[in-house]
A and B are shown apart, each in its own frame.
Chain A
């Protein structure tokens, strides 16, 4: 493997982990403060137990997210010095604001974790809300830096020089809104389903169903609403990509020929050599409609883009199918849940709980797949149409060893976190028994 691919793999790998930690750290505080609010209102001790159990989860994920985020702030420069040298000043603003938001979050979490019975009750609760809000703000700002790579703006690129830099314009680039909306909803949907799934499993196993059912409902309401809204934001994002990065759209749809009234392919096996897609389901004129809102619009195919500007096709296409498939399942499951609120008898059926337990990983699979679509689909560019990824990578050879080093480190960390979470749940069950 060459240095560039090793560096790309390492970046993908560390981001994959950070995204999970960061999203849980971003969304779980909201579950925690809802449970906390219910405790303050009803004084039902179940909610206090639940809040305290979740707060430990928040603390663990916040720190692992913070640590893996620190790692990324190093890696951006260590792996992509060519990128950071030019892009650093331009997209510095979202990162510096993100630093501030993160700092606020760290302070709020300090108050929240250590403030029980020590500071004013309402203020204490409010610090929990601040944890969540500043976490979401951090997420949105980081996504804005990423969207700038898709829609570079706020500078002029003249003779290889980056001039007339306007950091505010760079922050509010064209892809900012659609990406931030899509990602925020994804974080809520994925975390909602994951947390709900874990608690549903406990209900299914009949471990303290009273506590775990309450936990399930809080999480699934957040996750379900986000999952229902997500297709709408996906539509906004797809139309945006069609306009700004038509080659990425063509890759994720595995669309080779330019045509009017282009069909939408569902599934299919991509043959990159012969530029064909076999075993697919075709929906007539579907792609034209979804991309441009017009059944007869022309969609440019991969064959009509310059050869040296084509991204890989199979990976974004498969990842896109996985993302949409998982998203669809989650939206249906959310609908199912909201109907079940009317028909509470369903909750007595253990299969109801098993279903949601099985669905626990769907959101995170969709979320990771979505990032694969947008990142692989942007190749060979690190900054769309401005800088190629191969020109940004570090000149230091031997990145493959660095990659394996990170794989080892992150695997150990993940296994430890999973193990800690299991112990958390075990103790929660014992407490209520």
Chain B
């Protein structure tokens, strides 16, 4: 049953990074677009994300709930030591959600729209950066456990692990991944003129992903981060990254010929491969502290809890997945009907 829970945990992690990431990315693309392009992007983003956007963000809640029920020891370390960056992530999610609903549900479309737009775009950029920083902080190896270091100061324990170049770069890297995902997903939804614009955006995003990916690796090497050295030493991780790089070729071809499904497939696959590489390097030692690496599989909830959790997840999955697919399908069909009209 532990494996059922792990599958759901990994699944919700991937789905959040991919779908939630694409949502954040849409706002980032808007932020870095010219004024003329912002309007059509806003419209497309609303049409595409509107019906499903809330569903996309539930994955992080599912992740949190699985962690606290099944893996209380790991969860405890995360919430105690990464209190501040998680609060900042929360701030981003809150402002983003509020701005999204405000800009589409304000009954009077007036000057306040500008404010909502700005809020939406900026929170779309900072939230993934903080998310990446939180993840980065877990693997810097600088987390100071208070029970081992009772005299450590506030800055050392609660600020230093995440406020460094390396985690910030990981944050930026994730933000570029988000914009990459969004541009690749949006290509399929746009009209012809817009399509060309998203294609350009997708290419820029790919370059940004590569640039920040390199920066992360170089900085990690220079600072001697285990996360990076282990990553490079792991043949599976290398193979996954290499495969992801090779896939750029078919992706570029798919983008050029406007093959919607292929674009999405390759884009999603590439990001999944990068995630897979990061996960395979470190599992089960997800958290690195100054007192050593913590094993994710230590301090699990008792078997009885895991069983009930697994059963609830299976029931929930059976209930939700068909609904989710039906939602996507219905609105896709509606879109096609509207296009014909």
Residues of A within 8 A of B (CB): 56, 59-60, 62-64, 66-71, 73-74, 76-78, 81, 84-86, 88-90, 92-93, 95-97, 99-100, 102-104, 106-111, 113-115, 118-119, 163-168, 394-398, 402, 405, 409, 413, 416, 420, 423-424, 426-428
Interface set of B (CB-CB < 8 Å, partner A) = 50-52, 54-55, 57-58, 60-62, 64-66, 68-70, 72-73, 75-76, 78-80, 83, 86-87, 89-91, 93-94, 97-98, 100-102, 105-108, 146, 154, 157-158, 301-302, 304-305, 308-309, 312-313, 315-316, 319-320, 323-324, 327, 330-331, 334
Asked whether, in the complex, the Cβ of A110 is within 8 Å of the Cβ of B55, the reply is yes
28 A-B residue pairings within 8 Å (CB atoms)? A60-B101, A63-B98, A67-B93, A67-B98, A70-B97, A71-B94, A73-B64, A78-B79, A78-B87, A81-B76, A92-B65, A93-B69, A100-B316, A103-B55, A103-B58, A104-B323, A106-B55, A108-B323, A110-B327, A111-B51, A111-B330, A118-B334, A165-B304, A394-B79, A398-B154, A420-B102, A423-B106, A427-B107
Evaluate contact between A78 and B69: CB separation under 8 angstroms.
no
CB pair B324–A420 under 8 Å, yes or no, is no
Chain A residue numbers with a CB within 8 Å of B78 are 77
Q: Which residue of B lies closest to A91 (CB)?
A: B69
CB contact under 8 A between A107 and B304, given known A99-B316, A396-B83, A423-B108: no
Q: Residues of B contacting A81 with CB < 8 Å?
A: 76, 79-80
Establish whether residues B331 and A114, one from each chain, have CB atoms under 8 Å apart when the complex forms.
Answer: yes
- CB distance A109 to B107 under 8 Å? no
Q: Are B316 and A92 in contact (CB under 8 A)?
A: no
Q: Which of B52, B65, B305 contacts A99 (CB 8 A)?
A: B65
Assuming the contacts A96-B313, A167-B304, asked whether A70 and B61 have C-beta atoms less than 8 A apart, the reply is yes
A-B pairs with lowest CB-CB distance, top 6? A92-B69, A100-B316, A77-B79, A89-B301, A88-B68, A427-B107
Known: A95-B65, A107-B327, A110-B55. 16 other contacts (CB 8 A): A63-B54, A67-B94, A73-B61, A85-B72, A86-B72, A89-B72, A89-B305, A93-B69, A93-B312, A103-B323, A107-B323, A405-B87, A409-B91, A413-B98, A420-B102, A423-B106
**Interface of chain A, main secondary structure:** helix
A85 to B313, CA, bound (A): 20
Residues from chain B with Cβ under 8 Å of A166 in the complex: 304
Chain B, residue nearest A111 (CB): B327
Q: Looking at the assembled complex, report how far the CB atom of A3 sits from the nearest CB atom of chain B, in whole angstroms.
A: 12
Given A60-B101, A89-B302, answer yes or no on A96-B65 (Cβ-Cβ < 8 Å): yes
Q: Which of A69, A88, A164, A427 contacts B69 (CB 8 A)?
A: A88
Which residue of the partner chain B has the closest CB to A100?
B316
CB-contact partner of B87 in A60, A76, A106, A402, under 8 A: A402
Residues of A within 8 A of B323 (CB): 103-104, 107-108
Residue among A107, A119, A394 facing the most chain B CB atoms (10 A cut-off): A107
Picked from B64, B70, B93, B320, the residue with its CB within 8 Å of the CB of A89 is B70
Evaluate contact between A423 and B107: CB separation under 8 angstroms: yes
Choice from B68, B87, B330 contacting A92 with Cβ under 8 Å:
B68
| A153–chain B nearest beta-carbon distance, Å | 14
Partner of A114, one of B50, B157, B324: B50
Most B CB within 10 A of own CB, among A81, A89, A113: A89
In the bound assembly, the distance between CA atoms of A243 and B98 in angstroms comes to: 43
Q: Is there contact, CB below 8 Å, between A110 and B101? A: no
How far does the alpha carbon of A69 sit from the alpha carbon of B197 in the complex, in Å?
37
Q: How many angstroms between the C-alpha atoms of A398 and B84 in the bound complex?
A: 11
A74 to B84, CA, bound (A): 11
Bound form: Cα–Cα A410–B139 in Å: 32
CB nearest to A53 among chain B residues: B107
Instruction: Given A92-B68, A92-B309, verify A63-B101 contact (CB < 8 Å).
Output: yes
Q: How far is the CA of A416 from the CA of B62 in the complex (A)?
A: 28
Determine which of B54, B72, B158, B304 lies in contact with A396 in the assembled complex, contact meaning CB atoms within 8 Å.
B158
A103 interface neighbour in B64, B94, B97, B316, Cβ under 8 Å: B316
* Contact among A56, A394, A426 for B83, CB-based, below 8 A: A394
Q: Bound complex: CA of A95 vs CA of B55, how far in Å?
A: 17
In whole angstroms, how far apart are the Cα atoms of A215 and B108 in the complex?
22
* A-chain residues with CB within 8 Å of residue B305 when the two chains form the complex: 89-90, 92, 165, 167
Residues of A within 8 A of B90 (CB): 70-71, 74
Give complex CA distance A150, B51 in Å: 39
Closest to B64 in A: A73
- Contact yes or no, B154 A413, CB < 8 A: no
Pair A96/B324 contact, Cβ less than 8 Å: no
Instruction: Return the chain A residue nearest B99 by Cβ.
Output: A416
Complex Cα–Cα for A290 and B73 (A): 45
A64 to B54, CA, bound (A): 11
* Given A64-B101, A67-B93, A78-B86: A107 and B313 interface contact (C-beta under 8 Å): no
Task: State the Cβ distance, B59 to closest chain A Cβ, in Å.
Answer: 10
Q: Which one of A100, A398, A405 lies within 8 Å of B315 (CB-CB)? A: A100
Establish whether residues A99 and B62, one from each chain, have CB atoms under 8 Å apart when the complex forms: yes
**Chain B residues whose C-beta falls within 8 Å of the C-beta of A108 in the assembled complex:** 323
**Residue in chain B with minimal CB distance to A63:** B101
Expressed in whole angstroms, the Cα–Cα distance for A108 and B121 within the complex equals: 27
Q: B68, A84: Cβ atoms under 8 Å?
A: yes
**Hey, which chain B residues are within 8 Å of A56, CB to CB?**
105, 107
- Nearest CB in chain A: distance from B137 CB, A: 14
Which of A62, A107, A118, A426 contacts B108, CB < 8 Å? Answer: A426
